[in-house]
Chain A
Amino acid sequence: MRAFEYASPKQKQQAVGLLGQQWGDAEVLAGGSDLLALMKDDIVHPKRLVNVKELPELRGITFNASRGLRIGSLMTLSEISEDAQVKEHHPMLAHAAGEAASPQIRNVATIGGNMCQRPRCWWFRNGFGLLATAPDGKSLVLQGDNRYHAILGNDGPAYFVSPSSLAPALIAYNARIRLFGPKGPREIPLEKFFVIPKSENEREHDLRPNEIVTDVIVPAPPSGVKASHYEVRQKAAFDWPYATASVVLDMNGDTVRSARVVMSHVAPIPWVSNEAAQALAGKTISEQTADAAGAAAVANAKSLGRNKYKIKLAHVAVKRAVLQAAKGGQA
């Protein structure tokens, strides 16, 4: 790891002031579980780390009926998965947080850091850049072993997959993210926080080099909502999934009034499937309608050569999440 200077500001204005104008100057240290590994591998090499863990306003989980849930960006995945309010109002989120990574990681990894987690793409993690472009301008992903790469939103030049399994659950609940920068706070739909970079100079988040994540706001779901998060994985514990689906069904009796279907690990961003949502609207849930939603979710998917199997896995993830939700799921 390269040497850096370290500061622990006590106010968020100071934290922002200590961050740089451009990427590479400084990085935000929260849980550090992703950042320190990236620094050891020399993928990022900031001159300064700004530890935000001494900013008390970034802590806390509160719920009220009108605003919904407010989760401070420093809250760890353990704290979120065990919080009584999260379990009561947003059980799918508690479930997704409890399934991520390992006990040791969940004890330090924060929700803010999870939103800002960098892709696990093996070219990126081995120093070939976010877009993994060869000197001749061709994509290493398209030429190489792309078994874990994107099946949706993969028109290039980015082919990595979004690594967060919390983000799709949050987006399915229509969460918003609050950021703080030199010009003050801004709040955007979490869905819009994730962007597909078009050049090597861009990042995969709508976060400026001198902004920090302060909170995530999750609206209270209407009563009668059923939700479920399903992950297809190689291993039962401590693994990034092949494909996940988070489904929120707003029910009118046995009929779906409207649905939100969000997949992850299938595209460079958490992938909101309006096609799957439309396939479910007005339907009662059965094996057939759930399967049709899965098929609709991957109707536009395409293989890069070695990841065709992920199309089937994403289809099945959506189908099983829908069936699980209809049975009561995690909600």
Chain B
Amino acid sequence: MSDQDSPKDSGISRRKFLKISAITTSAPLVLGPTVLEVEGQEVHVFGPGKVPIALNVNGKRLTANLEPRFTLLDALREKFEVTGPKRVCDRGTCGACTVLLDNKLVYACSVLAIEAQGKQIVTTDGLAPQGQLHPVSAAFVDNDAQQCGFCTPGFVMATKAFVDKHPNATPDEIARGLGGNFCRCGTYAGIKGAVAQLSGQQQKGGA
């Protein structure tokens, strides 16, 4: 849901409200790194307060002042309004926050924002141009591969990474390759169908 779709009467979207409540609990100061001399060499030590962080998300450079303890997931959702990755378990177990980091599939909840600097981050929000569906997303629609949809962005990213690497996967390989994502609604048959469709398309296309 975009902000345009939100009820106007309160004058504030749910998303903005969460953002405000996050700000009020965090420290106001932004500090540069402390320079320590260790073994005769200077080392920059960041935090524990806010430090400037720059991330490359879906081809855009985004900057914010964040404490080093901010995970990539929280930075994306709470600071940059990149809300494709979902926060569910927040312990690297469910897969709802799956993103690509330098073309590798990772759980955004289990990476710190500060260590994701200098890497290319891709989320579902950046898979296709605005208003268009990426072929993986389209395959999910075709196969009714979602129910509540909360796990879907993570599954779409996991599927994209899997299909890119295994264009002709067997059903067993598909099940194993998507083993890092959970769907509590149990739409696995649809998801496997979507991956099989993508594998079939790529075989037909001779990719």
**Residues of B contacting A: mostly:** mixed
Mark each residue of chain B from 42 to 64: 1 if its CB lies under 8 Å from any CB of chain A, else 0: 01111111000000000000000
CA of A47 to CA of B69 in the docked complex: distance in angstroms? 11
CB distance from B179 to the nearest CB of A (A): 3
B161 sits at the interface (CB 8 A): yes
Whether the pair A6, B43 counts as a contact (CB closer than 8 A) is no
Asked whether, in the complex, the Cβ of A2 is within 8 Å of the Cβ of B177, the reply is no
Q: How far is the CA of A14 from the CA of B45 in the complex (A)?
A: 12
Assembly CA distance A138 to B90 (angstroms): 33
The interface residues of chain B lying within 8 Å CB-to-CB of A328 are: none
CA distance A108 to B175 in the complex (A): 20
**Chain A residues within an 8 Å CB radius of B109:** 36
User: Min CB distance, A39 to chain B, in Å?
Assistant: 8
- Please state if A7 and B179 are interface contacts (CB–CB under 8 Å): no
Stretch at the interface among A97-105, A187-195, A211-219, A314-322: A97-105
The residue that A236 contacts in the complex, of B105, B114, B175, with Cβ under 8 A, is B175
Whether A103 contacts B69 by the Cβ 8 Å rule is no
The contact string, 1 if C-beta is below 8 Å from chain B, for chain A 31-51, is 011001101110000011101
A307 on interface, CB distance cutoff 8 Å:
no
Question: Using a Cβ–Cβ cut-off of 8 Å, how many residues does chain B contribute to the interface with A?
Answer: 42
Contact B112 A5 (CB under 8 A): no
Closest to A17 in B: B38
> In the complex, what residue of chain A is closest to B39 when comparing beta carbons?
A13
CB pair A36 B71 closer than 8 Å: yes
Contact of A36 with B43 in the complex, beta carbons under 8 Å: no
Residues of B within 8 A of A237 (CB): 175-176, 179-180
Task: Please state if B68 and A102 are interface contacts (CB–CB under 8 Å).
Answer: no
A3 x B106 contact (CB < 8 A):
no
Check if A238 is an interface residue, CB within 8 A of chain B: yes
Nearest to B104 among chain A residues (CB) is A107
Measured CA separation A32–B110 after assembly (Å): 6
Q: Which residues 104-133 in A have Cβ within 8 Å of B in the complex? A: 104-105, 107-108
B132 at the interface (CB under 8 A from A): no
Residue from B39, B44, B162 whose CB has the most chain A CB atoms within 10 Å: B39
Within 8 A of B (CB), among A49-68: 49, 51, 53
Q: From residue A10, how far is it (CB to closest CB) to chain B in Å?
A: 8
CA A47 to CA B34, docked complex, whole Å: 15
B91 interfacial contact with A, CB 8 Å = yes
B95 lies within 8 A of chain A by Cβ = yes
Asked whether any CB of chain A lies closer than 8 Å to the CB of B140, the reply is no
Name the residue of chain A whose CB is nearest to the CB of B34. A5
Q: Considering the chains assembled together, what is the distance between the CA atoms of A39 and B110 in angstroms?
A: 11
A2 touches B175 (CB 8 A): no
Which of A2, A9, A47, A108 sits near B110, CB closer than 8 Å?
Answer: A108
Given A7-B44, A103-B180, A108-B110, CB of A29 within 8 Å of CB of B115: yes
Instruction: Give A29 to B69 CA distance when docked, in angstroms.
Output: 12
Inter-chain contact A238/B112, CB cutoff 8 Å: no
Q: Which residues from chain A contact B112 at a C-beta distance below 8 Å?
A: 6, 29, 32, 36, 49
Return chain B residues, CB-CB under 8 Å to A101: 180
Distance in Å from the Cβ of A228 to the closest Cβ of chain B?
19
Q: How many angstroms from the CA of A306 to the CA of B175 in the assembled complex?
A: 32
CA distance A301 to B96 in the complex (A): 40
A11 contacts the other chain (CB 8 A): yes
Tell me whether A9 and B38 are in contact (CB under 8 A).
Answer: yes
17 A/B residue pairs, CB under 8 Å, sorted by A:
A3-B68, A3-B69, A5-B68, A6-B68, A7-B45, A8-B44, A13-B38, A29-B115, A36-B112, A51-B115, A103-B105, A104-B98, A105-B107, A107-B104, A108-B104, A236-B179, A237-B179
Pick the 7 closest A-B CB pairs, nearest first: A102-B180, A237-B179, A3-B48, A6-B68, A17-B38, A13-B39, A104-B180
